[in-house]
Structure 1
Amino acid sequence: MVIAVSEIINLNNLKAYKNPFAVSDGRDEPLDVFVRDREEWKGWNSSRKGADDFSRGYIFSLIRYYHHADKWLFGGIFEVIERRPKSYKVALVDDSKEYIGRLLIHYRDPGYRGRAFYLEKHFAKLEVSQIFEETYGGEAFCGYGNISHKFSNLESIFKRNQEDSKSPLENVRGIYLIADTSNGKMYVGSAYGDEGIWARWSCYFRTGHGYNDELTKLIKSNGIGYARKNFQFSLLEFRSMKTDNKVILDRESYWKQVLRTNEFGYNKN
């Protein structure tokens, strides 16, 4: 049974709305932005890039749900309060707030490029795929051996202190890999002592570089947006918190040698 979005969200005048299908801007995925910071997500809807994209009174905002094709997460309805040369002043309206981050919509790609579309051309075709019990807060923990996540995706999980990821990661030491997808360079690091993987990685999401010398130079030159766009994290090994520090450091050295990250990557010791 197909349920149309129009059956649960009642809009009186579709011609009062523009409809952005928010997709990656090359640096951030809007889904990660939504999870990471709601004010940042509001800013995503208030930026103005040349043309008057949001030329109507309201914005019906959808977010690409990149875990599945043709799925969009409802991001809210915003009223355009003021139009400025480089931005809009917008305000989240109360209508349908209960569905923000919960309503997953099935709809194919709009079919052509553009930032904002006339809602009346698409609204009748939007179908309810699922309504989550809770507001979407990022991916569930996938298991130690399956971690292969973009910086921006993990950043959202860490900033929210997502418990299903925090608990397993703060209770293991280990060796991890950061791959720079823009050039193939890699960095091997480790978490040992009183510091589990969660605590060690948290430092990266605060700074972008984790105070590693070569990564620090890179982020100071390019900003944290570089990490969000290009860094991919994975866990090479995980060990009990009781594992001796020397064992962890020896395994870190082993992986540096295997992957030759001192010669061709970001490791310099």
Structure 2
Amino acid sequence: MLTFNQLLRAGSLDPANVRLVRHKPSRHKHRAIFDAAMRSDGAFREYQEMQGSTQVVSQFRAAKHLAGFVVDPTTKQTVFMGVWDLLGERPPTVDPFGTPLRPGTVAFETRSRSEFDRYRGRLVIGWGDGERAWVQRADLQDKPIIELRKHYEDPAFPGFMVFQHALDQVETVPVSWAEVLRNARGVYLLVHRERGDQYVGSAYGEGGFLGRWVSYADGHGGNVAMRELGAPAEAYDVAVLEVVGSDATVEDVFKREALWKTKLGTRVKGLNRN
């Protein structure tokens, strides 16, 4: 099996001088940071350069190079994004993705090593156990290369009957998925992941399913029973029950929604009040 340290040595880098940095951003920023890394956007470089943990700062200071990875928000795989030389330190600036800087934040100066760019988004490693240790010494953690793609592409949309997603992460779906969900209307189901409470709703306006689901960012989207429950959006999963045709009227969608409420009994034991 090929390993990441073999790739580093092929690029004339000593793994002892390299720190592996695995980014798994917060849910609301995950897709933006992943996409910026894939585009080699300077915002990702700045994001990686600013560190507020004393342990991470010490790791960076002891290294000569950083090998950056980002967890794919869809597949959860650890995807390679490049190698950077550490050149020094500079005063911290504003985080490009809006994360408040911690006291004592240190900003590092880095420069990308272009010889590794052809592997960006294509090389996937197995990080193994200890995900909380997101900065590791390469020489002590020789990661297996589990995939080298011909090119990166979003995974195919799984289909409406298979699709299920955390409600608070619907804006992080791949661009191709978002396009499908914006252009489809119909009936959907919200399920409280721990309690099992269900809510049947319908999407019939501009933005389709995705436009409607985004409105639940506050945890209720105007629904009385969900507001009373007081759970955040992250407590729910969302799935599609039925997609209606382009010729369906709003009244048609409401009728299908009512039918699903009856079938699932969400007016009797659930979060539907009408």
**TM-score, normalized by length of structure 2?**
0.68
Is the CA contact 1:14–1:120 (under 8 Å) kept in the aligned structure 2? Answer: yes
Partner of 1:89: 107
Q: Deviations over 1:117-144 (max 9, x none)?
A: 2121124x4325123413x5x4321112
Letter matched to residue 191 of structure 2: A
Q: Deviations over 1:57-109 (max 9, x none)?
A: 4432333458779x52113445473587454425663223443322222x351
Task: Indicate how the Cα distance of structure 1 residues 32 and 86 shifts in structure 2: closer, same or farther if over 3 A, else same.
Answer: farther
Q: Deviations over 1:230-269 (max 9, x none)?
A: 3322110111010232221122122223334345544333
- Looking at structure 1, the residues matched to 161 and 181 of structure 2 have their Cα atoms a distance apart, in angstroms, of 12
Is residue 74 of structure 1 aligned with residue 86 of structure 2? no
Partner of 1:174: 186
User: Which deviates further from its counterpart, 82-91 or 141-150?
Assistant: 82-91
Is the CA contact 2:182–2:210 (under 8 Å) kept in the aligned structure 1? Answer: no
Percent of residue pairs bearing the same amino acid type? 18
Given candidates 56, 61, 69, the residue that maps to 1:53 is 56
- Looking at structure 1, the residues matched to 268 and 105 of structure 2 have their Cα atoms a distance apart, in angstroms, of 46
**Alpha-carbon RMSD:** 4.0
After superposition, where does 1:211-222 map in structure 2 within 5 Å?
Answer: 211-214=221-224, 217=227
- Looking at structure 1, the residues matched to 150 and 225 of structure 2 have their Cα atoms a distance apart, in angstroms, of 38
Compare CA radii of gyration and give the structure with the larger one: 2
Partner of 2:159: 143
Unaligned runs of 5+ in 2: 38-42, 93-101
Partner of 1:190: 202
Q: How many residues align?
A: 248
Query: How far does residue 190 in structure 1 lie from its aligned partner after superposition?
Result: 0.8
2:195 aligns to what SS in structure 1?
A: coil
- Looking at structure 2, the residues matched to 216 and 88 of structure 1 have their Cα atoms a distance apart, in angstroms, of 42
Is the CA contact 2:188–2:242 (under 8 Å) kept in the aligned structure 1? Answer: yes
After superposition, where does 1:107-256 map in structure 2 within 5 Å?
Answer: 107=126, 109-110=128-129, 114-123=133-142, 125-127=143-145, 129-134=147-152, 138-151=154-167, 153-157=169-173, 162-163=175-176, 166=179, 168-192=180-204, 195=206, 198-205=207-214, 208-209=217-218, 211-214=221-224, 217=227, 226-227=232-233, 229-256=234-261
Letter matched to residue 52 of structure 2: R
Partner of 2:119: 99
Query: How far does residue 40 in structure 1 lie from its aligned partner after superposition?
Result: 7.5
- Looking at structure 1, the residues matched to 164 and 129 of structure 2 have their Cα atoms a distance apart, in angstroms, of 30
Letter matched to residue 5 of structure 1: F
Is residue 62 of structure 1 aligned with residue 69 of structure 2? yes
Task: Indicate how the Cα distance of structure 1 residues 176 and 98 shifts in structure 2: closer, same or farther if over 3 A, else same.
Answer: same
- Looking at structure 2, the residues matched to 36 and 130 of structure 1 have their Cα atoms a distance apart, in angstroms, of 19
Task: Indicate how the Cα distance of structure 1 residues 156 and 66 shifts in structure 2: closer, same or farther if over 3 A, else same.
Answer: closer
Is the CA contact 1:30–1:64 (under 8 Å) kept in the aligned structure 2? Answer: no
Query: How far does residue 7 in structure 1 lie from its aligned partner after superposition?
Result: 4.8
Task: Indicate how the Cα distance of structure 1 residues 108 and 53 shifts in structure 2: closer, same or farther if over 3 A, else same.
Answer: closer
Task: Indicate how the Cα distance of structure 1 residues 188 and 112 shifts in structure 2: closer, same or farther if over 3 A, else same.
Answer: closer
Query: Deviation above 6 Å: which 4+ runs of structure 1?
Result: 66-69
